[in-house]
Amino acid sequence: MASSPQRSIPTIDRISDFPDSILCHILYFLPTKQAASTIILSKSWKDVWLSVFAIDFDDETFKDFKSFHEFVYSTMFKLRDKKTPIHSFSLILGNSSRFDQKQFNRIFKFAMEQGVVNLDFNMDAKKRHIKLPHRILSFKTLQVLKLTRLEMRDFDQVDFPQLKTLHLDRVMFKSHEYYGKFLHVCPVLEDL
């Protein structure tokens, strides 16, 4: 019996034909580093990954702090359109992280200006607690706030009118009064 010739199956890039809104939705679920790697697919993907409504930075996925720092700063301050909103922002830092307080403040100022709704600031892998940037305490758009291994020292104003979910893991407050003051300004809190 003669063998039939094999037919080659045409390879068509159907995903690139999706509207940018669908592509952004798909990339929303990936860490920012993986979303950025989609630019190797085609030049048109560059605009797509920079329009995603979620930014997820984890320094453990980089070989060293220098490359992580460059990626964070170029993504936020050079490449990304400042008019594009950010729905979800996650910053996970380990022991190799050497951001200083001024840099934290700049990063969170940028996130605030983009109207972040979901914020996860995780310092779990650090050996010491760091101070929470005061800017976080006035995110009026926040609905979800997750903080891990941070210090809450003196603060005057806290304003979370829309905060529904608050997760605190190894967050050190200056005193019990500050903890109460912090919770008092969450009028619609549902999950603590």
Strands 130-131 and 144-152: parallel
79 within a domain of the structure (yes/no): yes
Q: Let me know whether 42 and 61 are in one domain.
A: no
Model pTM? 0.82
The tens digit of pLDDT for each residue in 39-50 reads 877 777 778 888
178 within a domain of the structure (yes/no): yes
Q: Name the least confident of 27-31, 62-66, 154-158, 161-165.
A: 154-158
Q: Let me know whether 86 and 113 are in one domain.
A: yes
4 within a domain of the structure (yes/no): no
The tens digit of pLDDT for each residue in 140-190 reads 889 999 998 888 877 777 888 999 999 999 888 888 888 888 888 888 999
3-class state of residue 159 by DSSP: coil
For the chain, what is the domain count? 2
In percent, how much of the chain has pLDDT > 90?
22
Question: Which segments of the chain are extended strands (E)?
Answer: 54-58, 88-92, 118-122, 130-131, 144-152, 165-173
Cα–Cα distances in Å, from 130 out to 12, 15, 47, 148, 153?
50, 43, 35, 10, 10
151 within a domain of the structure (yes/no): yes
Give me the domain span that covers residue 100: 56-184
How far apart CA 61 and CA 79 sit, in angstroms, is: 20
Q: Let me know whether 46 and 125 are in one domain.
A: no
pLDDT band at 128 (very low <50, low <70, confident <90, very high): low
Most confident range, picked from 37-46, 75-84, 132-141: 75-84
